[in-house]
Every structure is written in C-alpha cells, then in structure tokens.
Amino acid sequence: MTECRLVHTRSGVSCPRPSGWATVRIDDVGVAARAPARAQVFRASLVLTVLDNAGLTFSQWQAGTDRLLPIALTDYELIDLRRCVVAGRSGGQRVARHRAPDGRVVVLHQWFCAVGAVGVTLSATCEVRSYREVSEHARVAAAGLRLTAHHAATGRQAPHPVDGTAQNQS
C-alpha cells in the first residue's frame, strides 16, 4: 500500500499525511493537510512550512518565533518548549495553546529544524478535546518528516532527500 505524503512542492520536504485528510497548498511557503469536517468541531490541520531564514541562526530564528507567536495568536500560552532531534537534525518541539478566531481553545504542537539557511516547521493544530487523536497523527508525521537538499536562493532541489531515504508521494 502506498503511503500518502504531504509534500512541499518547491523544496520536496515531506511527511506522512493522515488518510482521508485533504491537502491544501499555501503558496510557496507551505502545504497543509486538513481533517475531514465534522459538525461542532474545530477542523484539525497539519501544516508543513519551509522558509528561508534570511541569514538567522537556528537560535535567532526560534527566538523570533517565540516573540511572534504571543503577538500573532490570541491568548497564546506556551506549555512546553524543548530541543530534540527532528528528521535526524538538531531541532525542537513546542506545545502551546491559544484561541482560534471562533473563540475555541486549540492546541498547537510544532516540530522544527533548519537545513542550512532554510527553516522547516511541522505544525499540528486541533481542539483540546481532539488532541489525543490528532497528536498521534502529528507524531507519525513528525517521525516521517523527510528533508531534501534545498537551495534557498534558487528554490531548486536535489533529486534525493538529505536523509538518504526514497520519497514516495501520492
């Protein structure tokens, strides 16, 4: 059986996509997978973003993210922030909660790392009551994150992932 993957087209960075979740392109910045819509439930999502870090070090990039999130997200509260290995690289993991535009409290769970001057972030967002279910999808996606050789200046990619694994898209 072929694994469904969420693929950032420009860079080739990818992760497993939960079966039944729809893929949504977010210009050149990212790609998202959205859970099937259910009445009265915030629609969970996985968002994979790949951005040029404009010369910032990993620490500077994440310090900027830590300053931006409380400004960008209503009632933002950081729950956990730690260093960890992401896709075989030194990276980090962040868990926070905030209010969605409709007022519901949602959980944001992120994994992030840098590939040269490029920042890769996988974000899972869901309602608190759906966190157990969605966090399992998010962990699978994070564990299966594949990085590619990415040339930030040109947007071109090498034909193989940096971690040496083969890509299988569907």
Report all structural domains of the chain as residue ranges with CATH numbers, in order of start.
5-161 (3.40.1000.10)
Query: What is the pLDDT at residue 117?
Result: 86
Query: What is the pLDDT at residue 82?
Result: 96
Contact 47, 110 (CB under 8 A): no
Rg (C-alpha) for the chain, rounded Å, is 16
Residues 6+ apart with CB under 8 A from 163: 87, 88, 146, 147
The pLDDT tens digits of the residues spanning 136-163 come to 999 999 999 999 754 333 344 433 333 3
The pLDDT tens digits of the residues spanning 2-52 come to 579 999 988 889 999 999 999 998 887 889 999 998 877 889 999 999 999
When the pLDDT of each residue in the chain is averaged and rounded to a whole number, the result is 85
The region that residue 31 occupies, defined by phi over 0 for left and psi between -120 and 50 for alpha, beta otherwise, is beta
Mean pLDDT over 101-120 rounds to: 93
pLDDT category at 77 given cuts 50, 70, 90 is very high
